[in-house]
Amino acid sequence: MPLSPLQDFIWQHRDDDPRQLALSAKKYPPSFAPSNQDLADGKASAGKEIPISAAVIQIQALQKIRSKIPSWYCPGMEFPLAISLEQASSERTAQFKASLFSGKKMADLTGGLGVDSFFFSQQFESLTYVEQNADLLAAARNNFAQLGLRNVQFEHRSAEDFLEKTDQEFDLIYLDPARRDERKGKVFQLADCSPDVLKIKDLMLKKSPRVLLKTAPLLDLKLAAGQLGQVSKIWVVASEGDCREVLYLLEREAKPMDEIPIAAVVLTEGEALAFEFSWAEEQRSVATFSTPQSFLYEPNPAILKAGAFRSFAQRFGLEKLHANTHLYTSMEFRQDLPARSFVVEQVCKYDRKTVQAFVPNGKANITCRNFPDNPDQVRRKLGLADGGEVYLFAATDAENRKLVMVCSKV
């Protein structure tokens, strides 16, 4: 597809510093008149020119896309709203979601920038992209064409309106509600998001036997599962050291809440690592407690968010430091855990002189678990700078002592 003058300028300057480009605007044409093709395609109006400031915004977006969604880093792409890029799934998380399902027809009721739709479309024969924002829909239409996607139908309407009027049935419906209120503040409770999944859940399940819902990681899993009902599986997904999203699969036949499979998934460069359990298993599991032994383990954020505290310990033969200190220890090293692993070099009392004796260069990476002070407070009290090769874990042990463990990475 041929590029417009604006798109060509963006691609030619994709590696420039956007701020410097804006300051140097006098070196370039002050504006880009729309091409005849843009006018024919309805992308611009006669007599309307696009200022270079628009190019700067697109270059900024393209530079973010390069690492977040690398397969979209190509000429001719359009990103109309900064917030849509901020809220969009990363390529890694979108690929993971898409890998869970396949079929003939699916609908994405909150199309947005279209990242999830793009990857889902590769698993289904056809996909219906639904979006009420005209600018986002136009950008998705353009971007999918640039990427060679041909099996997507576009619907410019709200999720609620589409559900009420469509006579189609789907193998899967996907919903990622907007987590911003009318004042653009962040929200995360189901009823505060748009659309309100609790109001349209029954209609979605009438149109499809399976509904996949993406929510904010802050939302309490049990609260959400209780409100939704009919939850058959939950995925808690982490990537690059952070919990990125939580997915709920709704089906027409509900599972008892305590038996819902919960998969804590860690996305790596290779294959995804998953720790699966249920709330019933967590209730049955028994954790034993110990002072720090030879090795220390900090579970991945997906494990912690999912709440697999006792079951994690029992499954891998580990001991906890304290019921509320979610750090684990063992005498023998446990390989291939969904956790950061450390060698315990020394266990100290929470005292500047004592700890500094084991941090010779005065630098350490500090983590606090079930501890009265946060990492900045610990750093100031111990007189240490951030960084280096030493890892300090400030935590409460089973005897309620405040300890600092001096560790090195395995």
Indicate if 244 and 377 belong to the same structural domain.
Answer: no
Average pLDDT, the chain: 91
Report if residue 166 sits inside a domain. Answer: yes
Question: What confidence tens digit (pLDDT) does each residue in 334-380 have?
Answer: 998 999 999 999 999 999 999 999 999 999 999 999 999 999 999 99
According to the model, what pLDDT value does residue 46 have?
44
Report if residue 173 sits inside a domain. Answer: yes
Question: What confidence tens digit (pLDDT) does each residue in 317-340 have?
Answer: 999 999 999 999 999 999 989 999
CB atoms within 10 A of CB 233: 17
Burial zone of 216 (CB within 10 Å; 0-12 exposed, 13-18 middle, 19+ buried): middle
Structure tokens at 202: 């029954």
Indicate if 99 and 153 belong to the same structural domain.
Answer: yes
- Kindly state the average pLDDT of the residues 145-149: 95
What total of structural domains would you count in the chain? Answer: 3
According to the model, what pLDDT value does residue 168 have?
97
pLDDT tier at 7, thresholds 50, 70, 90: confident
pTM: 0.89
Q: 272 and 96 in contact (C-beta within 8 Å)?
A: yes
Indicate if 61 and 166 belong to the same structural domain.
Answer: no
Question: Which residue, 248, 277, 306, sits at the end of a domain?
Answer: 277
pLDDT tier at 399, thresholds 50, 70, 90: very high
pLDDT tier at 30, thresholds 50, 70, 90: low
According to the model, what pLDDT value does residue 272 have?
85
According to the model, what pLDDT value does residue 25 have?
67
CA 198: distance to chain centroid?
22
Q: What percent of the chain has pLDDT over 90?
A: 77
Indicate if 273 and 292 belong to the same structural domain.
Answer: no
pLDDT tier at 44, thresholds 50, 70, 90: very low
According to the model, what pLDDT value does residue 309 have?
97
Indicate if 248 and 348 belong to the same structural domain.
Answer: no
Question: Which residue, 37, 58, 77, sits at the end of a domain?
Answer: 77
- Kindly state the average pLDDT of the residues 152-175: 97
Report if residue 82 sits inside a domain. Answer: no
Report if residue 272 sits inside a domain. Answer: yes
Dihedral class, residue 148 (left if φ above 0, else alpha if ψ from -120 to 50, else beta): left
Indicate if 267 and 325 belong to the same structural domain.
Answer: no
- We report the CATH number of the domain holding residue 133 as 3.40.50.150
According to the model, what pLDDT value does residue 45 have?
45
User: Domain residues for 213?
Assistant: 87-277
Question: Which residue, 255, 277, 299, sits at the end of a domain?
Answer: 277
The two beta strands, 402-409 and 339-349, are: antiparallel
> How many whole angstroms separate alpha carbon 320 and alpha carbon 328?
5
Task: Please determine, for residue 289, whether its predicted confidence score (pLDDT) is greater than 70.
Answer: yes
Indicate if 117 and 246 belong to the same structural domain.
Answer: yes
Indicate if 237 and 355 belong to the same structural domain.
Answer: no
Question: What confidence tens digit (pLDDT) does each residue in 216-265 have?
Answer: 888 999 999 999 999 999 999 999 889 999 999 999 998 899 999 999 99
According to the model, what pLDDT value does residue 33 have?
54
Give 154 or 88, the one with higher predicted confidence. 154
